[in-house]
Amino acid sequence: MFPSTSPDTGRDPWPDDARPGPAGPSRGYPPGPRTGPADDGGDRPERKGPRRLRKGGPGRRPDDEPDDEPEEEEPPVPVRRPLALTVAGFAALLGVGLVLGAQTAGPGHRLPFAFIVFGVQLLFVLAWTMAMRPPALLVVALVSAGAAAIADAAAVQSEIAGLAPLGYAAAAGFVLGVLGQLVRRVDRVRVTDSLGSTLLIVVGVVAFASLIVLGRIPKGTQAITVCLTATAVALLVARLTDAVAPWPRLAPQVPRGAAGVVAGAMLGTLTSAVLGSYLVGFTPTSAALVGLVTAATAVLADLAVGYAEAGRLMAGEPPTLWIARHMQGPLGGFALAAPAAYAMCVLFL
């Protein structure tokens, strides 16, 4: 017999969300599913941070994990041995041509040496304008070549051997080069950024004319022989050392080594000291002094050209003409060594 009243009589009504299941089995029926919150003696701690998924899901990223991955270092630029040997040979030929040309100069025979210098100046204009590529490149090249011709003529024809006519030629060439860039609107936008490159090209090409002026003063031809021989030996040894042992690397982006720079300057100085013991008007000490200045100046200028080329490539500029890019260093070294030789001859000899 069943009781006449329901066992739920007198109990509280069910909650709104779900009816709780019985605590244990009753009347032979299985317990119902637990749909309410678990009451196991305590609240579960709240989860902090992003949820970590199981294996196969997205990666787990705790708060203390760094977001950025470490950047991979780029390998250094390789040193191409055939290229270094070729540049070394070009520097040696350039020095031999200028030294032999200086020997042909005399009081009434300055034109042959002037023609040799003008040929080197044209090479300088070609290499440096193609490498630096200023606005209105053709205008800058023509103006620089004209300034070189005017400077050479002034060095040959002036009554007093001095650098003042060369300074006037350089100033006029720079002004005309800038004006030529201002003519077109496309070039006018970049003219402010190209003032330094235009000035460098014009002054560098006019600097070669100081060799003609140096050949007109006493001891000038001997000074050209000592200084340019030291310059050629320094550039030759520096490039040969880079082809054999470019160590330690000065910069990963520049395929040059410190050993070549130091060895080139030292052997260039030694060569000038040896020449000074045979040339009239020089001593080993005085020749070593002028040779040290010109040799160190040349190798540092050659090295600076390598850094400038690496900077242009890192800035995203397209590479320049191959032959012009690698002629730029030796030509820049001789262009800077020429006025240094003149200054050392005037001040110390």
Determine what percent of the chain is predicted with pLDDT higher than 90: 56
Of the candidate ranges 39-53, 172-186, 206-220, 263-277, the one whose mean pLDDT is the lowest: 39-53
> Which carries the bigger pLDDT value, residue 57 or residue 208?
208
> Which carries the bigger pLDDT value, residue 189 or residue 140?
140
**Position 195 confidence tier, pLDDT thresholds 50, 70, 90:** confident
pLDDT in tens, 273-312: 999 999 988 999 999 999 999 999 999 999 999 999 888 8
pLDDT at 133 over 70: yes
Q: What's the first-to-final CA gap in the chain, in angstroms?
A: 140
Determine the pLDDT at residue 107: 76
Mean pLDDT of 14-18: 49
Determine the pLDDT at residue 41: 47
Neighbours of 258 (CB within 10 A): 14
Determine the pLDDT at residue 134: 87
Mean pLDDT of the chain: 83
- How far apart, in whole angstroms, are the C-alpha atoms of residue 230 and residue 271? 6
pLDDT in tens, 314-348: 888 877 778 888 999 999 999 999 999 999 999 88
Determine the pLDDT at residue 328: 94
Determine the pLDDT at residue 316: 82
For residues 332 and 302, is the Cβ–Cβ distance under 8 A? yes
Mean pLDDT of 15-27: 49
Total H helices, total E strands in the chain: 11, 2
Determine the pLDDT at residue 77: 86
Give the predicted TM-score (pTM) of the model.
Answer: 0.78
Verify cis geometry, omega within 30 degrees of 0, for the bond prior to 248. Answer: yes
Determine the pLDDT at residue 46: 52
**Position 72 confidence tier, pLDDT thresholds 50, 70, 90:** low
Please list the residues that pair with 26 across neighbouring strands. 29
Mean pLDDT of 196-219: 94
Cα angle vertex 346, ends 345, 349, to 5°? Answer: 55
Determine the pLDDT at residue 53: 47
Q: How far is CA 75 from CA 78, 251, 263, 300, in A?
A: 8, 11, 26, 25
Tokens of 2: 């069943």
For residues 279 and 226, is the Cβ–Cβ distance under 8 A? yes
For residues 111 and 85, is the Cβ–Cβ distance under 8 A? no
Determine the pLDDT at residue 180: 85
Tokens of 142: 């023509």
Determine the pLDDT at residue 318: 77
Determine the pLDDT at residue 186: 67
